[in-house]
A and B are shown apart, each in its own frame.
Chain A
Amino acid sequence: MVAETSAPKTTPSIGDYLRNNIREYGLLVALVVIMLFFQFLTAGVLFRPVNLTNLVLQNSFIVIMALGMLLIIVAGHIDLSVGSIVAFTGGLSAIMLVKWGLHFSIVVPLCLVLGGLVGAAQGYWVAYRKIPAFIVTLAGMLVFRGLTYLVLQNRPIGPFPKDFQLLSTGFIPDFLYFINPLPGVITNFFALVAVLVLVALAIYYGIKDRRTNDLHGTENEPFAFFVLQMGIISAVAIFLGFQLSTYKGFPNVLVVMALLIALYTFVTTRSTIGRRIYAMGGNEKAAKLSGINTERLTFYTFVNMGVLAALAGMIIAARLNSATPKAGVGFELDVIAACFIGGASASGGVGKITGAVIGAFIMGVMNNGMSIMGLGIDYQQLVKGLVLLAAVFFDVYNKNKG
């Protein structure tokens, strides 16, 4: 009996592995297929450097908010107020920058703190007063939209100082212009070098990880898979990096977004906080009886959401170069949809950062592609709704089958 339980696990076959990870790969394949589909339908416009840059700029705030929303959904809650927080913090930043003339280095952190306070105000009712998040944040959605109208006095405020606008419209400068071998083609050599370095680092750490896993006897994914996966991801990254390097390089927002994605992936997969959020979403009572302070954890997931929504609010304001009371209307739905397309479960405990990010980009590419094709908002909404339903059906179908 002891022999049976302690026998080392044989490595899973490729088929097993694929079956267990069908969600992640399926999602990635779906994104690639959708991109190729629109590349074809838009006669090659989608992958043009200008459009790729736009794609990033248009979706960065959805992706950033999806990071916080995923934690909230995994914790077993929902936040409907993020669209209003976007408008509210955008409005506050406009007043501080434009009306009061404060420097952006003061305004940006201050607005992040204010966003955190907004999140705390809602998190308090959810965590400590046990009011369902749906109701609290529905109230928050109305309250903060109303406050936005009040502080902006129903008028848009703008334009912003140049340095603040750079948050959204700026690019990482070409530090390496002096060694650019192809000045005619590549206009930002640094971007290309950065991508190549990152790809090399990813491969290095990927291999190193497998080594340590082998050393400790932890299961690795099949080697063929590792190679295939690394190959495809590297090729796509290099292609996209090259395209961007022939335009203006990396938008500032892309860097912010990438750092946040990395940070939240780390938090959800490797940190004790992340683990506890998943446990709490899976079974709140059991988590509490295991000594986890579930109230405080819930409270902070909402604070975190508020901070990210404030960041998104400033990015949007900087991008539009004006803060309007109508900013961010309906964003909560895009953000929530991104999480669910990405495989999060409405009942909590399940979901991945990578899933939510890919989900956000699936929505973003569809928006972008359909806009280029000249399809109206009517069709866009229709298609997005159907994609959401299809993605969740795929989940349910898989679960029942397995």
Chain B
Amino acid sequence: MDNIILEMRGITKTFPGVKALDNVNLKVREGEIHALVGENGAGKSTLMKVLSGVYPAGTYDGEIHYDREVRNFSTISDSEHLGIIIIHQELALVPLLSIAENIFLGNEIATNGVIDWPKTFSRTQELLSKVGLKEPPTTRITDIGVGKQQLVEIAKALSKKVRLLILDEPTASLNETDSDALLKLLMEFRKQGMTSIIISHKLNEIKKVADKITILRDGGTVETLDCHSEDIGEDRIIKGMVGRDMEDRYPPREPKIGETLLEVKNWNVFHQQHRDRQFLHNINFNVRAGEVVGIAGLMGAGRTETVMSIFGKSWGHKITGEVFMHGKLVDVSTIPRAIDAGLAYVTEDRKQLGLVLNNNIMHNTTLSNLNAVAANGVIDDHKERKVATDYRSKLRIRSHSIYQEAVNLSGGNQQKVVLSKWLFTSPEVLILDEPTRGIDVGAKYEIYTIINQLAAEGKGILMISSEMPELLGTCDRIYVMNEGRIVAELSKKEASQESIMRAIMRSGEKH
């Protein structure tokens, strides 16, 4: 167990104008799970790209020792050849090909270019059983969930005789059950002697599995913590990441709750694709002025579908039920009507659904309410610029100007641009779907602060999140959803991780 399998010494990597890594050191023992943490932009992914040969030897300074030898990888296949396999955050699977085809993509079991299917399938079966997947090898990737896709990626890594597995935010898009399964698998691999490096923002998970934690900040190594010699708390890790103590991850708030703003009654929705299957059953909920209401639930519980079906019927079909604002029935059958009714929806996936990435901050900010900066269809440049400038400073969007393209912003700043867009429509109820996914601790705190300000202004906030601590830390009331139904409504006092999970488990037993 005392073998150092990997040592990266004094790694420095510069991009034009930016020092992404500055003298970074990383030492990984064979057979351990080594966590790599740090805020977005701290250099975690860059470091792993240096290691795997995405940035070839010569484009960085420093040395990589692997298996006690200095290695100079010039391509990814060089590092893969020695068993260093990296699984990126965005999965590299071909959706319309089968599991088996994906696992052996580029590495087919073939003689003279003719694929040996029986052998391929039996090998796939072996690999799948190692990762605990029961799907037949012929299943197409698009037909399985993200959690299982992640397992297929791992099976693919296993097929390449992996010795050092690198996972970049493997659980970012997984629900708790899938995340747990994945972490258990990593611990299982550890027993078999495999080494892994895991990059993650989810500190509770890291605490659960990691033997060592290396913290990066602003492109430099801060420290490496040994989880076995001392008891490392989350606050300890955060302190290392942000370079200061973070007493409270959730800014305090005195809720001043007023009248009911949004009320949804008897909401029933059929599935968008499987049109004869009812997906949402008799949903009833409300949001009051100045209140932050959470919706908890596992992936696939129907949370996003619920809010999307309400927001201009942008999901589902055969939608029935009533939506009230201020006690009056409103028409939300199209997105413009939903906006007029006072709703705004910050989508889960900001890159695909939230932003026009190649447009600048200003254009994204005014997109939903363009008429407010225009007269007779002609845009008033100066008015538009003023709106964008105001939101940029109000929400502290870090950028060199309002003309910077959204694609070049960090996740947290992108999210603030999406928020600006919706705040500019002056909504009464703001629906937030996973508002802090994939953004770093500091930016999360700022988003929570914005949420609190909005609530204090008397707006109603409806927030979906898969991170239970986040819901518990910010919400006044939490609805729990499971399998297309609301199964519990918990007050701030009643709500806890246990009570939420209990509500989900109990409702599962009934069906």
A293 contacts B336, CB within 8 Å?
Answer: yes
Q: Do the beta carbons of B347 and A289 come within 8 Å of each other?
A: yes
- For window 306-330 of B, CB contacts with A under 8 Å fall at 311-312, 314
Q: Knowing A5-B393, A216-B382, A216-B385 are in contact, say whether A279-B359 is a contact too (CB < 8 A).
A: yes
Minimum CB–CB distance from A304 to chain B (whole Å) comes to 15
Rounded to whole Å, the gap between the CB of B7 and the closest CB of chain A is: 34
Residue A286 interfacial (CB < 8 Å):
yes
Q: Tell me which residues across on chain A come within 8 A of B114, comparing CB atoms.
A: none
B353 to chain A, nearest CB (A): 5
Q: Is the CB of A349 within 8 A of B397?
A: no
Q: A5-B396, A272-B377 are in contact. Are A291 and B359 (CB under 8 A)?
A: no
- For the complex, is B339 an interface residue (Cβ under 8 Å from A)? yes
Which chain B positions have C-beta within 8 A of A293?
334, 336
State the CA gap A287–B421 with chains docked (Å). Answer: 12
B336: nearest residue on chain A (CB-CB)?
A291
For window 240-275 of chain A, which residues contact chain B by CB distance below 8 Å? 270-273, 275
Residues on A with C-beta less than 8 A from B400 are: 9
Chain A residues, Cβ within 8 Å of B358: 282, 349-350
Q: Is the CB of B352 within 8 A of A272?
A: no
- Decide: A278 and B359 in contact? CB cutoff 8 A: yes
Q: Counting CB contacts under 8 A, is A218 at the interface?
A: yes
Structural contact, B396 and A2, CB atoms closer than 8 A: yes
Check if A275 sits within 8 Å of B370, measured CB to CB: yes
Given contacts A5-B392, A350-B358, contact A271 B353 (CB under 8 A): no
| Interface assignment of B487: CB less than 8 Å from any CB of chain A | no
Q: Which of B338, B355, B357, B363 contacts A275 (CB 8 A)?
A: B363
Q: How far is the CB of A279 from chain B (nearest CB, A)?
A: 5
Q: Decide: A282 and B356 in contact? CB cutoff 8 A.
A: yes
**Interface membership of chain B positions 349-367, coded 1 if the CB is closer than 8 angstroms to chain A and 0 otherwise:** 0001111111100010001
Q: Mark A269-303, 1 if CB is under 8 A from B, else 0.
A: 01111011011001101111111110000000000
Residue pair B353, A286 in contact (C-beta under 8 Å)? yes
A212 within 8 A of B: yes
* Contact partner, A272, options B338, B370, B389, Cβ 8 Å: B370
Assess whether B501 is interfacial by the CB under 8 Å rule. Answer: no
Within 8 A of A (CB), among B455-510: none
Q: Classify the interface of chain A: helix, strand, loop or mixed.
A: helix
Q: Is B335 part of the contact surface with A, judged by Cβ < 8 Å? A: yes
A289, B398: Cβ atoms closer than 8 Å:
no
CA distance A6 to B363 in the complex (A): 18
The answer to the question of B159 belonging to the interface, with a C-beta cut-off of 8 Å to chain A, is no
Q: Which residue of A lies closest to B405 (CB)?
A: A282
Indicate whether B276 reaches chain A with its CB closer than 8 angstroms. Answer: no
Asked whether any CB of chain A lies closer than 8 Å to the CB of B379, the reply is yes
With both beta carbons as reference points, the residue of chain B lying nearest to A274 in the complex is identified as: B379
Q: How far is the CA of A219 from the CA of B377 in the complex (A)?
A: 23
- Chain B residues whose CB sits within 8 angstroms of the CB of A290 once the complex forms: 335, 367-368, 421
Contact B357 A289, beta carbon cutoff 8 Å: no
Contact B398–A271 (Cβ < 8 Å)? no
| Distance in Å: Cβ of A203 to nearest Cβ of chain B | 20
A residues near B370, Cβ cutoff 8 Å:
272, 275-276
Given A9-B401, A272-B374, A349-B356 in contact, is the A287-B379 Cβ separation under 8 Å?
no
Q: How far is the CA of A106 from the CA of B394 in the complex (A)?
A: 57
Q: Which residue of B lies closest to A276 (CB)?
A: B370
**Cα distance A2–B393 when bound, in Å?**
7
A4 at the interface (CB under 8 A from B): yes
Interface residue A1 (Cβ < 8 Å from any Cβ of B): yes
- Interfacial chain A residues near B314, Cβ < 8 Å: 288-289
When C-beta atoms are compared, the residue in chain B nearest to A216 turns out to be B382
Q: Which residues of A have CB within 8 Å of B59? A: none
Output the least CB separation between B110 and chain A (Å).
Answer: 34
Contact of B381 with A by CB under 8 A: yes
Query: In the docked arrangement, what's the CA distance between A287 and B355, Å?
Result: 8
Interface residues, chain B, CB within 8 Å of chain A? 311-312, 314, 334-336, 338-339, 345, 347, 352-359, 363, 367-368, 370-371, 374, 377-379, 381-382, 385-386, 389, 392-393, 396-401, 403, 421, 425
Query: Mind listing 24 A-B residue pairs with CB under 8 Å?
Result: A5-B396, A5-B397, A5-B399, A219-B401, A270-B378, A271-B379, A272-B377, A272-B379, A275-B370, A276-B370, A278-B356, A282-B356, A282-B357, A282-B358, A283-B357, A286-B352, A287-B356, A288-B335, A289-B314, A290-B335, A290-B421, A291-B339, A291-B368, A293-B334
